[in-house]
Every structure is written in C-alpha cells, then in structure tokens.
Amino acid sequence: MAKNEKSGIEFIESAEALQKEIGKAEGFLAQNKKVLGIVGGVVLVAALAVVGYKYWVNQQNQEAETAMFDSVYYFESDSLDLALNGTGGNMGLIEVADQYGNAPAGNLAKFYVGLSYMKQGKFDEAINYLNDFSVDDIVLQGKSYALIGDAYLEKGDAAQAATYYEKAASYKPSKSLTPGYLMKLATAQEVAGNKAAALEAYTEIVNEYPNSSDYLAALKYKSMLETETGE
C-alpha cells in the first residue's frame, strides 16, 4: 500500500488525528474571522447589487415600453418628427433612447431613432444612434450594421460602408440574410475600387448560398469582374 494511501486510512480511522485536524480548522477560523467576515460581506453586497441592478433595469424597461408606445405608432405611420420628438403629451424616441438606453426597450429605441434618421437623410445622426445600439439578435444587429453601411455609402465613404457590410455579413451568418449583406459588401468594394474584395464577396454567395435569390446576380457580376481582372 502506498504511503499516502496508508496515511489517509489512518487519518479516517484515528479519532485523535481527526480531532487534531478539526482543531486546526477552528484555529484558522478564529485567526481569520475578520477577513472571512469581510469576504462574506463583499459577496453579499455583490449579490444584492446584482439583484438590485436587475430590478432597476426591469423598472426602467417597463417605463421605456410605456413611454415609447405612441412613438412607435407614429414611426409605423411614417410621422417621423412626431416619432422622434413626441407630441408634448408623450416622450419621443430620442428622449426614450437617451433616458432609458440601458434598458432593453430604451436600447431598441436607439434602433428606431437611427432608422428614422436614415429615412430623413440625416446620416450622421443615424450612424451615432445605430452605433450605440447593441443586441444579441440575428436580425436587428445585422440590420443595424447594414444600415450604418448604407449611411456611409450615402455619405460617399464606400470603404467605411464596406467595413460595416462585412460586420453584417459575418454576424451570425444565415441563408436568408447573409447573401443580401454580401451583395451590399461587394457593391461597396467595387465603388471603393477594391475589385478583388468585391469578387471575393460575389464568390462567397455563389459557393455558399446557391439557393439564395441573390445567386444569379452574384454569378453574373462575378463573371464580369473575372473578365475585367483577367482572373
């Protein structure tokens, strides 16, 4: 029998040895009572802080949902000024986004604000709010990146537009959404004069998404670019 295994059995079977170990543990607790009390207090405070924060966010979210109800209706009715600024009797989306931005509903308001500004042609303002929007959602987050790309393309900055289209295309790739983002990416790269990168995007659609509605267009533009570049 190995030495460490024998000593383990002796420890279990010996009441004297067990009592000695218990005494050591009690001594450690006595000597470190203050430190252990502080650690326990820190853990308790941290736990209470998490619970309190979740409660606060939940309250903020409920308030934000109530506040933006009418504004979302105006947005869907294309009454963008009323949606953004409110009517005096209710908060507009801008105020909801600014005041409740840490809550899910307030965060969503940022997306609505950015989209509203896009419709109004206010691309810098749209970029600011859409960049501040963040959500773990395959549709909205990818759409947000693509909208920022659209804004930069409208501003004449094709290279920056391509950066955001790339983010949209690489964010949780899907058969339904990614091909469209890749088409936008290819277009922006062509406008930016980066034909090799555009060809790469078209090729990805052709190879990875043959059932996509963008497949034939991608195949066409891929062939045209290959002819131009001699590839």
Q: For residue 166, which of 198, 135, 138 has the smallest C-alpha distance?
A: 198
Q: Would you say residue 131 has pLDDT above 80?
A: yes
Domain membership flag for residue 214: yes
Structure tokens at 119: 């419709």
Total domain count, the chain: 1
pLDDT value at residue 8: 41
Average of per-residue pLDDT across 20-44: 54
Residue 51 lies in a domain: no
CB 185 within 8 A of CB 201: yes
152 belongs to a structural domain: yes
pLDDT mean over 110-116: 93
**Percentages helix, strand, coil for the chain, rounded to the nearest 5?**
80, 0, 20
CA distance 94 to 68: 10
Predicted pLDDT at 42: 47
Higher pLDDT, 52 or 145: 145
Domain that holds residue 230: 135-231
Element (H, E) at 153: helix 138-154
Residues 116 and 83: beta-carbon distance below 8 Å: yes
Q: Assess if residue 231 is contained within a domain.
A: yes
The pLDDT, as a whole number, for residue 211 is 95
Residue 194 lies in a domain: yes
| pLDDT number for residue 51 | 41
Instruction: Using the predicted structure, report yes or no on whether residue 28 has a pLDDT greater than 70.
Output: no
Tell me what pLDDT residue 72 has.
85
Q: DSSP secondary structure string, 22-61?
A: HHHHHHHHHHTHHHHHHHHHHHHHHHHHHHHHHHHHHHHH
Is the residue at 50 inside a domain? no
Distances (CA, A) of 13 to 9, 21, 25: 6, 13, 19
Q: DSSP character for 174?
A: -
pLDDT digits (tens, 9 = 90+) for 181-212: 999 999 999 999 999 999 999 999 999 999 99
Assess if residue 56 is contained within a domain.
no
Instruction: Tell me the CATH number at 192.
Output: 1.25.40.10
208 domain residue, yes or no: yes
Q: What is the pLDDT of residues 44-103, one digit of tens each?
A: 445 444 444 354 446 667 877 787 888 888 888 899 999 999 987 788 999 999 998 888
**35 pLDDT exceeds 90?**
no
The token pair that represents 33 in the structure block: 């009572």
pTM of the model: 0.74
